[in-house]
């Protein structure tokens, strides 16, 4: 049964194509320890050497031709943990724990929603500490036919379990190891996310196929949002400002990004998906794989960090990360970028194949500064906008680091503006 709702046996070629998409994405992350020199922009030339914690960067300001030493970011290496090379880790909101899929024999098709194959599969997910004094120390291990999900909260991290009948269960694996089942019913449930306050959202469709619906749950109240025939709602993301959620709507090959505001009870209205007023077209040649790839680099809080109004996602058509806020226009980030975190209203940390840069938003021409060498993917924390977790892959392991933006690189967090 395919993700589009029809029964089929996934062919080797189809699975290979999907696997190639992930390998191409992870291929952008160089091996640990590799560095390259990067010149950031005409107006602000940053000269770097091999980065170490506390490295000073020398900046030449063109209008004065004077050297000004400064440290934009402190990179404190934390741990190196084995991974399956295909799945990005999940980080707890406080940045103190990580869940890593260390091995998995499930095909890419199964990972994104196909039924449990006749011969099954095996996965191992390791929860480890990122606390300095015990960095990399194991907390718990989850083995079996659970696949790592899209987000984590203080209680644990999301997992999915495909069933042979085409159904799919969603669970929240506690950091201590036990799994609390969130959704186990007659539906195929997938693409779940969770907010720091425990609110959840996911997608579901009948096991025999059909359109995907959105399901939201808060404080024990569960609501399924209506949809029109032929439209599937995918990849929900909670807005960082706490006033609503984003979701993708796929209809034929047309894909739009939609903002769904919360009602007084903290959930979208049941009919919010029928005729949404705030949306933007992101592709006219999309499919389910396009939608999954779009949000894969920004799991957890990264897509819409705390106190931020916009969403970041990868646009496969444009080959770069993009930003969008309700009522605004799509903003393209640097070409070749494959991950991004908005750190304040004017700046985003943007991951390229050889470096992490800080890009100034809404500027023409684009302006950016090199933060550090290496393809560090960043995850925000609830501690502050200047404290992040970074990780990079060499396809056999994930290397983790704590990133601390200095006072100049991290702007003061302002309250969200009124829409």
CB of 126 closer than 8 Å to CB of 168: no
- Residue 198 token pair: 């425990």
CA nearest to 401, candidates 34, 26, 98: 98
Domain limits for position 110: 12-405
**Residue 352 falls inside a structural domain:** yes
How does pLDDT run across 188-217, given as a tens digit for each residue?
Answer: 999 999 999 999 999 999 998 889 999 999
Domain with 274 in it: what CATH number?
2.130.10.10
**Residue 413 falls inside a structural domain:** no
Q: Which helix (H) or strand (E) holds 415?
A: none
What is the predicted pLDDT for the residue at 1? 43
CB of 398 closer than 8 Å to CB of 322: no
Residues 55-63 have a mean pLDDT of 39
Residues 368-389 have a mean pLDDT of 95
- Residue 33 token pair: 């320890």
Helices (H), 68-180: 108-111
For helices 288-295 and 12-26, what crossing angle results, to 10°?
20
Sign, CA dihedral 172-293-197-350, equals: positive
CB of 198 closer than 8 Å to CB of 182: no
- Placement of tokens 């992870």 in the chain: 26
What is the predicted pLDDT for the residue at 110? 87
**Residue 218 falls inside a structural domain:** yes
**Residue 411 falls inside a structural domain:** no
- Cα–Cα–Cα angle for 38, 361, 40, rounded to 5 degrees: 10
Separation of alpha carbons 257 and 94, rounded Å? 28
CB of 341 closer than 8 Å to CB of 302: yes
**Residue 81 falls inside a structural domain:** yes
Separation of alpha carbons 286 and 87, rounded Å? 22
Residues 15-32 have a mean pLDDT of 46
Q: Is 332 exposed, middle or buried (0-12, 13-18, 19+ CB in 10 A)?
A: middle
Which residues, other chains included, contact 299 with Cβ-Cβ below 8 Å and sequence gap of 6+? Answer: 88, 90, 150, 151
How does pLDDT run across 78-131, given as a tens digit for each residue?
Answer: 999 999 988 999 999 999 999 999 999 998 888 878 899 999 999 999 999 999
Identify each DSSP E strand in 85-186 by its residue range: 90-91, 97-104, 123-129, 138-144, 147-152, 156-162, 168-174, 179-183
Sheet (strand 66-70) strand order: 44-47, 57-61, 66-70
Separation of alpha carbons 262 and 272, rounded Å? 9
**Residue 336 falls inside a structural domain:** yes
Backbone angles phi, psi at 289, to 5 degrees: -60, -40
How does pLDDT run across 221-269, given as a tens digit for each residue?
Answer: 999 999 989 999 999 999 999 999 999 999 999 999 999 999 999 999 9
What is the predicted pLDDT for the residue at 137? 96
Separation of alpha carbons 11 and 2, rounded Å? 11
Cis peptide before 365 (omega within 30 of 0): yes
How does pLDDT run across 355-377, given as a tens digit for each residue?
Answer: 999 999 998 888 999 999 999 99
**Residue 414 falls inside a structural domain:** no
What is the predicted pLDDT for the residue at 404? 95
More confident residue, 415 or 406: 406
Separation of alpha carbons 163 and 91, rounded Å? 27
How does pLDDT run across 39-58, given as a tens digit for each residue?
Answer: 333 333 333 333 444 444 43
What is the predicted pLDDT for the residue at 42? 34
CA atoms within 13 A on the CB side of 325: 17
Separation of alpha carbons 145 and 390, rounded Å? 28
Please say if the pLDDT value at position 140 is more than 70: yes
Radius of gyration of the chain (CA): 21
Separation of alpha carbons 325 and 335, rounded Å? 20
**Residue 229 falls inside a structural domain:** yes
- Residue 334 token pair: 């640097």
Residues 302-310 have a mean pLDDT of 95
382: DSSP letter: S
Please say if the pLDDT value at position 66 is more than 60: no
The domain tally of the chain equals 1
What is the predicted pLDDT for the residue at 43? 33
CB of 57 closer than 8 Å to CB of 370: yes
Separation of alpha carbons 126 and 89, rounded Å? 10
402: DSSP letter: E
What is the predicted pLDDT for the residue at 285? 96
Separation of alpha carbons 80 and 396, rounded Å? 10
């Amino acid at each position: 049964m395919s993700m589009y709702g029809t029964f089929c046996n996934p062919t080797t070629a189809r699975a290979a194509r999907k696997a190639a998409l992930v390998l191409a994405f992870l291929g952008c992350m160089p091996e640990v320890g590799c560095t390259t020199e990067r010149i950031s922009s005409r107006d602000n030339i940053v000269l770097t050497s091999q980065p170490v914690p506390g490295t000073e960067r020398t900046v030449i300001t063109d209008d004065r031709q004077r050297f000004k030493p400064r440290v934009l970011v402190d990179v404190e290496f934390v741990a190196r943990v084995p991974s399956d090379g295909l799945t990005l880790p999940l980080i707890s909101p406080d940045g103190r724990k990580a869940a890593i899929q260390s091995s998995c024999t499930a095909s890419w098709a199964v990972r994104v929603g196909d039924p449990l194959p006749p011969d099954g599969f095996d996965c191992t997910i390791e929860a480890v500490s990122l606390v300095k004094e015990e960095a990399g120390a194991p907390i718990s291990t989850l083995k079996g036919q659970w696949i790592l999900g899209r987000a984590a909260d203080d209680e644990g991290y999301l997992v999915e379990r495909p069933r042979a009948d085409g159904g799919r269960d969603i669970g929240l694996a506690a950091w201590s190891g036990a799994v609390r089942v969130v959704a186990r019913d007659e539906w195929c449930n997938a693409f779940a996310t969770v907010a720091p306050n425990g609110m959840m959202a996911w997608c579901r469709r009948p096991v025999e196929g059909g359109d995907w619906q959105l399901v939201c749950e808060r404080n024990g109240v569960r609501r399924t949002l209506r949809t029109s025939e032929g439209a599937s709602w995918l990849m929900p993301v909670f807005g960082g400002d706490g006033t609503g959620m984003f979701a993708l709507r796929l209809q034929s090959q047309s894909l739009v990004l939609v903002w769904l505001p919360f009602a007084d009870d903290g959930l979208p209205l049941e009919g919010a998906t029928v005729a949404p007023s705030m949306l933007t077209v992101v592709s006219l040649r999309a499919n389910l794989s396009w939608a999954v790839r779009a949000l894969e680099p920004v799991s957890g809080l990264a897509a819409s960090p705390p106190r931020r109004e916009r969403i970041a996602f990868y646009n496969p058509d444009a080959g770069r990360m993009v930003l969008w806020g309700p009522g605004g226009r799509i903003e393209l980030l640097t070409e070749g970028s494959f991950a991004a975190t908005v750190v304040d209203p004017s700046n985003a940390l943007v991951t390229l194949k050889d470096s992490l840069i800080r890009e100034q938003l809404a500027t023409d021409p684009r302006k950016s500064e090199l933060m550090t060498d290496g393809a560090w993917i960043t995850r925000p924390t609830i501690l502050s906008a200047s404290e992040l977790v970074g990780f990079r892959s060499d396809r056999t392991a994930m290397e983790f680091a704590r990133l601390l933006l200095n006072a100049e690189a991290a702007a003061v967090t302002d309250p969200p503006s009124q829409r």
